[in-house]
Amino acid sequence: MAAGKKLKKTERQARILGELRAQPAIRISDLAGDFGVSTETIRRDLDELGQQGMLSRTYGGATARPFGAEPTLSERYKEHVEERERVGSLAARLIKPGQVLMVDAGSTTLHFARRLSAELRNLTVITNSFGVASALSTNPTISVVVCPGRYDAREGSVFGSDSESFLRRFNANVAVCSCSGLTPEGPNDVNPSAAVLKRAMMARAETNMLLVDHSKFGVLTLENVCPLPEVRLIVADRLPAGDLARAIRRLNLPIETGSAAPARRP
């Protein structure tokens, strides 16, 4: 990279991601010299991009984030806890007693399930997540139906053709799904088996709700779950910016963050 005029943070971070598309690893000292900024500035850039899931931080630099790699559920559950608790609480407020829900596996949907158990009554929930089922089981008024399938210890959930065919037997008012990333193309997931079940849940529900914290904004992983127009409501801890925000506005897609007028209830 040739040094030129001083770049804005967004331009600098875009250039950093561009470098990672051209080479497998980058170093803080090299970037600082190329951009004519301090190593601390580059370190903050890499930390911010790492928190957004755009790259993997290493000692002294960063590497490209593999599209098909993600921490385990127990590891993810410890990340962005405050934001995901907020998303789960906001989403729980949009559910009505007596509804039938399909809830997929994920750290954010687990926060959602815990709020449902604490605040709602008389629900039926169909899920492939043992964590979601366990959280809901503490409320005796919530009926829980767990999918059969192949158990994935990293996700604490079941997947596969048995799970998919089982879901086709049921109808739901709302499908509640999470994702690994959200771009203008729609939600995506690192796990193709999880993407299949998300689509199956959305197909069997009258409407759907996507739960996502800001760290997923702009993140692209292995498999697209569905086009963005097929999402009916996004529940997030904050509003997105850039291309994603423009795509959401263009579709007039409701997004609930708790800081503006309430979204339409599903």
Asked if residue 55 and residue 169 are part of one domain, the reply reads: no
Q: Does 110 reside within a domain?
A: yes
Please state the pTM of the whole predicted model: 0.74
For residue 265, name the pLDDT band (cuts at 50, 70, 90): very low
State mean pLDDT over 141-167: 95
pLDDT one-digit tens code per residue, 46-87: 988 877 667 778 888 888 766 545 555 555 555 678 999 999
Q: Which of 109, 116, 106, 108 is nearest to 152 (CA)?
A: 106
Q: Does 34 reside within a domain?
A: yes
Asked if residue 90 and residue 204 are part of one domain, the reply reads: yes
Distance CA 212, CA 169 (A): 27
What is the domain-level CATH number for residue 199? 3.40.50.1360
Asked if residue 92 and residue 207 are part of one domain, the reply reads: yes
Asked if residue 97 and residue 59 are part of one domain, the reply reads: no
| Domain ranges, residue 133 | 73-256
Query: How many folded domains does the chain comprise?
Result: 2
Q: Does 207 reside within a domain?
A: yes
pLDDT one-digit tens code per residue, 91-120: 999 999 999 999 999 999 999 999 999 999
Burial 17-50, CB ≥16 within 10 A → b, else e: bebbeeeeebebeebbebbebeeebbbebbeebb
Q: Does 2 reside within a domain?
A: no
